[in-house]
Amino acid sequence: GAVVSQHPSRVICKSGTSVKIECRSLDFQATTMFWYRQFPKQSLMLMATSNEGSKATYEQGVEKDKFLINHASLTLSTLTVTSAHPEDSSFYICSASDGQSYGYTFGSGTRLTVV
Amino acid sequence: GDSVTQMEGPVTLSEEAFLTINCTYTATGYPSLFWYVQYPGEGLQLLLKATKADDKGSNKGFEATYRKETTSFHLEKGSVQVSDSAVYFCALSGGTGFQKLVFGTGTRLLVSP
């Protein structure tokens, strides 16, 4: 079945540094990637949607200069949290779709802690 | 806009009890409906889905029926196990093709032996 690999699973970084999270579709072509953020014991908040080769579409209230999304190929999308601050600490999850048979496949998530 | 409402948790049950987690939705058009499960520290796994009215999705003993008249997609299981303890999310995808998912707030299920 469809598999999405997300790395790293956990990362701790210092305030002011940048962190990159990768999301790879291993056995299908992900024409669309979705990036979510999840706060403790809360639901998933969609941050942005990206289509391969196009600029990401950000949800209202999400800072596009802070959360840089790149979807340069059909198998790889990255989320870079720039100049991270403690309030950016959260669980980030990607989801990929080929727009056809596989539906939505989620990565295993990345726990980001900014100290 | 589209929205999903699901019951507050946690839901606490004994092993072999019957489970119902309510989910209702608001959407224009004919959305697809999903239930996802999240185990601690992990991403989401698709549990089941239904794409049109009266469809029943089922998997691992869980089932849910797409009820357009009541705009509901309640999750049920006849006999829960300790291993079913997790957070369950109801979600919808509106429009045609694979649009973004709109999630409910999640319901935590705790099953004790």
Strand partners, A19: A81
Collapse the DSSP code of B84 into the 3-class scheme (helix H, G, I; strand E, B; otherwise coil) and give the result.
helix
Per-residue pLDDT, A102: 56
Residue A82 near chain B (CB below 8 Å): no
* Separation CA B51–CA B58 (nearest Å): 13
**For B63-111, what is each residue's pLDDT tens digit?**
999 999 999 999 999 999 999 999 999 999 876 556 788 899 999 999 9
**For B17-72, what is each residue's pLDDT tens digit?**
999 999 999 998 889 999 999 998 788 899 999 999 999 999 999 999 999 999 99
Residue of B nearest to A108 (CA): B43
Residue A108 near chain B (CB below 8 Å): yes
A15 vs chain B: nearest CA distance in angstroms?
23
* Separation CA A101–CA A49 (nearest Å): 19
Backbone angles phi, psi at A86, to 5 degrees: -55, -30
Backbone angles phi, psi at B43, to 5 degrees: -80, -165
**Is there a contact between B80 and B13 (Cβ–Cβ < 8 Å)?**
yes
DSSP-assigned states of every residue in B66-83: -BTTTTB--EEESS--GG
Of residues A23, A15, A86, A28, the one with CA closest to residue A50? A23
Would you call A42 and B89 a contact, using CB atoms and an 8 Å cutoff?
no
**Is there a contact between A111 and A9 (Cβ–Cβ < 8 Å)?**
yes
CB pairs under 8 A between A and B: 48
Strand partners, A45: A37
Per-residue pLDDT, B98: 60
Query: Could you list the mean pLDDT of each consecutive 10-residue stretch along chain A, which spans 115 residues?
Result: 91 97 92 90 87 89 94 92 96 88 83 96
Per-residue pLDDT, A2: 82
**Residues in chain B whose Cβ is within 8 Å of chain A:** 34, 36, 41-46, 49, 89, 93, 97-98, 100-101, 103-106, 108
